[in-house]
Amino acid sequence: MTPPAEAFAWRLRGHLYRRIRDNGTVLSRAELAADLGATAAEIDRAFRFLADACVLALDCDGEVWMAHPFSAVPTPYRVETPIGAYWANCAWDALAIPLLLGTDGRTRTNCPQSGARFDLTMTRGRAVPRGAVVRLAVPVRDFWDDIGFT
Protein backbone atom coordinates (compact mmCIF):
# COMPACT_ATOMS: atom_id res chain seq x y z
CA MET A 1 0.00 0.00 0.00
CA THR A 2 1.34 3.43 -0.89
CA PRO A 3 1.97 5.94 1.90
CA PRO A 4 -0.98 8.15 0.79
CA ALA A 5 -3.30 5.11 0.70
CA GLU A 6 -2.10 4.00 4.12
CA ALA A 7 -2.63 7.52 5.50
CA PHE A 8 -6.15 7.45 4.05
CA ALA A 9 -6.84 4.11 5.77
CA TRP A 10 -5.87 5.54 9.15
CA ARG A 11 -7.94 8.67 8.48
CA LEU A 12 -10.90 6.44 7.61
CA ARG A 13 -10.41 4.54 10.86
CA GLY A 14 -10.45 7.76 12.88
CA HIS A 15 -13.60 8.94 11.11
CA LEU A 16 -15.29 5.57 11.61
CA TYR A 17 -14.56 5.54 15.35
CA ARG A 18 -15.69 9.15 15.81
CA ARG A 19 -18.99 8.34 14.10
CA ILE A 20 -19.44 5.22 16.25
CA ARG A 21 -18.81 7.33 19.36
CA ASP A 22 -21.25 10.01 18.21
CA ASN A 23 -24.18 7.88 17.03
CA GLY A 24 -23.57 4.31 18.25
CA THR A 25 -23.61 2.70 14.81
CA VAL A 26 -20.97 1.49 12.40
CA LEU A 27 -21.05 3.16 8.99
CA SER A 28 -21.32 1.19 5.77
CA ARG A 29 -18.75 1.38 2.98
CA ALA A 30 -21.12 3.63 1.00
CA GLU A 31 -21.65 5.99 3.96
CA LEU A 32 -17.91 6.22 4.58
CA ALA A 33 -17.25 6.89 0.88
CA ALA A 34 -19.82 9.71 0.90
CA ASP A 35 -18.47 11.20 4.15
CA LEU A 36 -14.85 11.09 2.99
CA GLY A 37 -15.36 11.85 -0.71
CA ALA A 38 -13.75 8.53 -1.60
CA THR A 39 -14.40 5.88 -4.22
CA ALA A 40 -15.66 2.40 -3.38
CA ALA A 41 -12.26 1.02 -4.41
CA GLU A 42 -10.45 3.36 -1.99
CA ILE A 43 -12.75 2.31 0.84
CA ASP A 44 -12.27 -1.38 0.01
CA ARG A 45 -8.46 -1.02 -0.05
CA ALA A 46 -8.53 0.83 3.27
CA PHE A 47 -10.81 -1.80 4.81
CA ARG A 48 -8.53 -4.60 3.62
CA PHE A 49 -5.46 -2.81 5.03
CA LEU A 50 -7.19 -2.27 8.39
CA ALA A 51 -8.45 -5.86 8.47
CA ASP A 52 -4.95 -7.16 7.71
CA ALA A 53 -3.69 -4.97 10.58
CA CYS A 54 -6.29 -6.60 12.90
CA VAL A 55 -8.03 -3.26 13.42
CA LEU A 56 -11.31 -4.22 11.75
CA ALA A 57 -13.05 -7.51 11.10
CA LEU A 58 -15.11 -7.59 7.91
CA ASP A 59 -18.22 -9.61 7.17
CA CYS A 60 -18.66 -11.78 4.08
CA ASP A 61 -19.92 -8.74 2.12
CA GLY A 62 -16.84 -6.68 2.99
CA GLU A 63 -18.66 -4.43 5.47
CA VAL A 64 -17.36 -3.73 8.97
CA TRP A 65 -18.45 -6.45 11.36
CA MET A 66 -16.19 -5.46 14.26
CA ALA A 67 -14.36 -2.21 14.88
CA HIS A 68 -12.87 -3.31 18.16
CA PRO A 69 -14.23 -3.02 20.76
CA PHE A 70 -17.45 -2.09 18.92
CA SER A 71 -19.73 -4.51 17.09
CA ALA A 72 -21.67 -3.50 13.98
CA VAL A 73 -24.35 -6.06 14.80
CA PRO A 74 -26.45 -6.63 17.93
CA THR A 75 -24.84 -8.92 20.50
CA PRO A 76 -25.67 -9.97 24.09
CA TYR A 77 -23.40 -7.10 25.20
CA ARG A 78 -25.18 -3.73 24.95
CA VAL A 79 -23.04 -1.10 26.69
CA GLU A 80 -24.89 1.93 28.03
CA THR A 81 -22.86 5.06 28.81
CA PRO A 82 -23.69 8.73 29.43
CA ILE A 83 -22.40 9.37 25.88
CA GLY A 84 -24.55 6.74 24.14
CA ALA A 85 -25.26 3.03 23.79
CA TYR A 86 -23.04 0.64 21.85
CA TRP A 87 -22.82 -3.05 20.97
CA ALA A 88 -19.70 -4.85 22.20
CA ASN A 89 -18.37 -8.08 20.70
CA CYS A 90 -17.88 -9.81 24.05
CA ALA A 91 -17.60 -9.16 27.80
CA TRP A 92 -13.96 -8.11 27.40
CA ASP A 93 -14.93 -5.50 24.79
CA ALA A 94 -17.86 -4.38 26.97
CA LEU A 95 -15.29 -3.40 29.60
CA ALA A 96 -13.13 -1.67 26.99
CA ILE A 97 -15.81 0.61 25.52
CA PRO A 98 -16.23 2.87 28.59
CA LEU A 99 -12.45 3.02 28.99
CA LEU A 100 -11.99 3.99 25.34
CA LEU A 101 -14.66 6.68 25.66
CA GLY A 102 -13.35 7.94 29.00
CA THR A 103 -16.67 7.43 30.78
CA ASP A 104 -18.58 5.01 32.99
CA GLY A 105 -20.70 2.26 31.49
CA ARG A 106 -22.98 -0.65 32.24
CA THR A 107 -23.73 -3.84 30.34
CA ARG A 108 -26.67 -6.04 31.27
CA THR A 109 -26.07 -9.52 29.95
CA ASN A 110 -26.27 -13.19 30.83
CA CYS A 111 -23.49 -15.52 31.89
CA PRO A 112 -22.78 -17.68 28.82
CA GLN A 113 -22.25 -20.73 31.05
CA SER A 114 -25.09 -20.51 33.60
CA GLY A 115 -27.47 -18.12 31.86
CA ALA A 116 -27.69 -16.02 35.04
CA ARG A 117 -28.42 -12.33 34.44
CA PHE A 118 -25.79 -9.87 35.64
CA ASP A 119 -24.53 -6.34 35.22
CA LEU A 120 -20.99 -5.65 34.12
CA THR A 121 -20.12 -2.10 35.16
CA MET A 122 -17.14 0.18 34.67
CA THR A 123 -17.02 3.04 37.17
CA ARG A 124 -14.14 5.50 37.14
CA GLY A 125 -12.05 2.98 35.20
CA ARG A 126 -12.70 0.04 37.52
CA ALA A 127 -14.80 -3.05 36.96
CA VAL A 128 -17.70 -3.52 39.36
CA PRO A 129 -18.43 -5.85 41.06
CA ARG A 130 -14.93 -6.45 42.30
CA GLY A 131 -13.88 -10.01 41.74
CA ALA A 132 -15.93 -10.40 38.57
CA VAL A 133 -14.23 -12.73 36.11
CA VAL A 134 -14.19 -12.61 32.33
CA ARG A 135 -13.06 -15.99 31.06
CA LEU A 136 -11.05 -15.94 27.85
CA ALA A 137 -11.55 -19.36 26.30
CA VAL A 138 -8.90 -18.65 23.66
CA PRO A 139 -5.39 -17.36 24.44
CA VAL A 140 -5.03 -13.70 23.42
CA ARG A 141 -2.26 -14.58 20.96
CA ASP A 142 -4.77 -16.75 19.07
CA PHE A 143 -7.72 -14.30 18.97
CA TRP A 144 -7.32 -13.45 15.30
CA ASP A 145 -7.19 -17.09 14.21
CA ASP A 146 -11.01 -16.93 14.44
CA ILE A 147 -12.02 -13.55 15.83
CA GLY A 148 -15.72 -14.34 15.52
CA PHE A 149 -15.40 -17.33 17.83
CA THR A 150 -13.14 -15.54 20.27
Domain end marker among 23, 47, 67: 67
| CATH number of the domain encompassing residue 106 | 3.15.10.60
Say yes or no: 46 and 83 in one domain: no
Could you tell me where the beta strands, DSSP code E, fall in the chain?
56-58, 64-67, 70-71, 77-80, 85-88, 105-110, 117-123, 126-128
Domain end marker among 50, 67, 84: 67
pLDDT confidence tier of residue 107, bands split at 50, 70 and 90: very high
By residue range, what is the domain housing residue 58?
3-67
Q: Over the stretch 12-57, which tens digit does the pLDDT of each residue have? A: 999 999 999 999 999 999 999 999 999 999 999 999 999 999 999 9
In a domain, 150, yes or no: no
- More confident call, 17 vs 141: 17
Predicted local distance difference test score (pLDDT) of residue 150: 64
User: Rounded to an integer, what distance in angstroms lies between the CA atom of residue 88 and that of residue 5?
Assistant: 29
The model carries a pTM of 0.88
56, β-bridge pairs: 67
Domain end marker among 67, 90, 110: 67
Q: Over the stretch 47-105, which tens digit does the pLDDT of each residue have? A: 999 999 999 999 999 999 999 999 999 999 999 999 999 999 998 899 999 999 999 99
**Number of domains making up the chain:** 2
